[in-house]
A and B are shown apart, each in its own frame.
Chain A
């Protein structure tokens, strides 16, 4: 565990907590893509199946369980409790266009052709693009609530911090995982535009709105 990895995990944890609290406190999931949330639940479910096969640390297991539980809780809040506030007219990204190619790629490019390893690879690839329905929704409505921007910033920062963690681990431990690194790069690049808007607008106290 190095400082980049820890900062990345904290950022990831904060993102998820901010989203749940936002929905709970405002009694609304307006502006949040349920499709991205479904993809994230799929990501955590397929990646953390190793909870049953490998024990790494109490920290590792606790975080995994938290991510899985929080992702399903978010889906429950969006599709059941606060369903009336869900903005489905703007949440129209076709997730099969992500799931199908990602499944194919996971079958073709993986470390090991075993069920758990293929599911892990699938989750890494899927995570890299899972935010697209949310970014699509923001671009469609042309704006995002400030709290949603904070959520997106924390969520995007997490994988970018992991990139620094992987650079560190490569030099310190000789460890590298090309699948995670390339997917992490893709994931971080997808947020670049958003990061720019966040820094130039939200941090200066303005609402995040896109140029027409």
Chain B
């Protein structure tokens, strides 16, 4: 997984 805390999608 690359994504944590910042979610740039809706």
Contact = CB atoms under 8 A, between A and B. Distances in A.
Contact of A111 (B1, B8, B10): B1
A12 B8 CA distance: 16
Interface of B is mostly: loop
Interface residues of A, number: 26
A47 B7 CA distance: 9
A56 B9 CA distance: 9
Interface residues on B, range: 10 to 19
Contacts of A64: 10
A60 to B, nearest CB: 7
Contacts of B9: 5, 162, 165, 180
A175 B3 CA distance: 8
A50 interface: yes
Contacts of B8: 56, 60
Nearest to B4: A111
Contacts of A180: 9
Interface string A16-37: 0000000000000000000000
Interface of A: 5, 9, 12, 47, 50, 54, 56, 60, 63-64, 67, 111-112, 114, 116-117, 120, 162, 165, 174-180
Task: Report, nearest first, the 10 A-B pairs whose CB atoms are least far apart.
Answer: A111-B4, A177-B3, A112-B4, A56-B8, A63-B10, A178-B1, A54-B6, A175-B2, A111-B1, A9-B10
